[in-house]
Chain A
């Protein structure tokens, strides 16, 4: 993993189209601004993890008994 040290107001560019700006640091919280085209999907990591967990849980091992409702 690439790790960069930045200060408030500093930014990082990815691929000439995504700009990530460190806007505020307070205690253990960091506020990050992202400028990106609307075609780029931006997600909080924990939300993706929740969906990943839900998918793993949904992995079926047998066909459901639909009649048993």
Chain B
């Protein structure tokens, strides 16, 4: 099916690849269906685009390309996404884009967790951590 996007005009998406956010994201509680649009060939940058609302789109990155980052998924996330194997999990971080891009920040406190097998996702909040909501993208790997 075709959808309107925030940056790329109208595009065709594969509905079988649509991700379901059962409870939306904080601040976007009514946005339940998103699609991932890769931006570059390296798999680092993608757009997390709402299927329902064209202007709701986030730039996301594979956080592991930018920073040494690891955390345990809590029981509620495992349960709500029906995660049974680590192999099915992917993690994305939302980027707050600044100009110049080097001043952009990553949200490491509240990553997007995806169950790629079942196409279920949620933004989980890692409460017991010092991960920042705004981690400078330019810091790179520490």
Contact = CB atoms under 8 A, between A and B. Distances in A.
A51 B133 contact: yes
A56 B56 CA distance: 9
Interface string B111-142: 00000000000010101000001100010000
Interface in A17-69: 38-41, 43-44, 47-69
Given A39-B80, A52-B26, A65 B55 contact: no
Given A41-B76, A43-B127, A59 B57 contact: yes
Interface size of B as a range: 35 or more
The majority secondary structure among interface residues of chain A is loop
B100 A54 contact: no
Contacts, number: 98
A60 B27 contact: no
B90 interface: no
Given A51-B123, A55-B94, A68-B101, A63 B39 contact: yes
Contacts of A58: 58-59, 94-97, 107
A32 B27 CA distance: 26
Nearest to B28: A55
B25 A55 contact: yes
Given A41-B77, A41-B80, A63-B59, 5 more contacts: A51-B133, A54-B94, A54-B110, A55-B25, A67-B101
Interface of A: 38-41, 43-44, 47-69
Q: What 7 pairs between A and B have smallest CB-CB spacing?
A: A52-B27, A39-B79, A38-B75, A52-B26, A41-B76, A58-B96, A69-B102
